[in-house]
A = this chain, B = another copy of it.
Amino acid sequence: MKAFSDRLIERTRRLGHPLCIGFDPHLAHIPPAFRRGSMAPGDPETAAAVGAFCQAAFERVAEHAAAIKPQSAFFEALGPPGVQVLADLLRAGRRAGVPVILDVKRGDIGSTAEGYAGAYLAADAPMRADAITAAPYLGGDSLDPFVGAAAAAGGGVFVLVRTSNPGAADLQDLKVDGAPVYEAVARMLAPAAEKLMGAQGFSGLGVVVGATWPEQAPRVRELLPKSLFLVPGYGAQGGGAADAVRGFVAGPNGLEGGVVSSSRGVLFPEAGHTEDAAAWEAAIDQALDRARTDLAEAVSR
């Protein structure tokens, strides 16, 4: 069984860019070509509309994406039918061999974290993803079940270290012995990173480090030299490509070491907000092309 980090790194090398495509199907953003019924969260047609959108979007982008990153919140917001749409998307990703990073930001005490590991990471998980995101507030032992399940099933775990929202500083930047809390979190992860090492020199114990705070990425890279980076916030949240890859390292074909996620720029371009299915396809293709070219340039420098 191949390590998650190897699958991801080999794919970014082959594609020549680290573009991860976020699937954040906020109802307000679903294009007219896919809207059905009231589009209220409780309407059963709504989940069907979101499902049709996700399927069409997945088919459009899958072969060009280093990974996809469904954001669980927007599926959970539709109740059980929305969770079924997410399950279908996860299955489509696995079937196509596209690495799926499920953005759930779970974190709980050990016995409960085992439940989440069983849901999303285990070989027999009913909602199996290649990797999940996780929150560190409960400490190292709360992450152990995720690391264990990832090690057993060839998966990965991306732990929040430094996020890109304005309030991130409230807690993550507080100083502990002169260094910010997020550095303490990075140090806490080092032993687990050893457990998910792949053959290509990267660990599937990855970190989430926001694109709009590029000055922090090199510091996290120093502390976790082998960890995959998941950099959200590229595009809509204002992060540029060069900033997004500041935590990457030199590889055989350019900078590498993770993925950069666009959560709105690719799947919800302004030109795609149309009734016209062909115009929607063209808008997605153009947005995808722009993002991967932009990131390919950033990693080739």
On A, residues with C-beta under 8 Å from B are: 24, 26, 40-42, 71, 73-74, 76-84, 87, 105-116, 118-120, 124-127, 135-142, 160, 163-172, 174-177, 181, 184-185, 188
| Contact of A175 with B172 in the complex, beta carbons under 8 Å | no
| Contact of B171 with A109 in the complex, beta carbons under 8 Å | no
| Contact of A112 with B24 in the complex, beta carbons under 8 Å | yes
Nearest to A122 among chain B residues (CB) is: B41
> A26 touches which one: B108, B115, B116, B164 (CB < 8 A)?
B115
Can you show 15 pairs from A to B with CB atoms below 8 A apart?
A26-B111, A26-B115, A40-B124, A42-B124, A42-B126, A71-B112, A76-B119, A77-B118, A79-B83, A79-B126, A105-B106, A135-B137, A137-B163, A139-B172, A171-B188
> A160 touches which one: B111, B127, B137, B167 (CB < 8 A)?
B137
User: Given the complex of chains A and B, what is the CA–CA distance between A138 and B134 in angstroms?
Assistant: 12
Q: A42-B126, A137-B160, A176-B176 given as contacts; is B181 within 8 A of A165 (CB)?
A: no
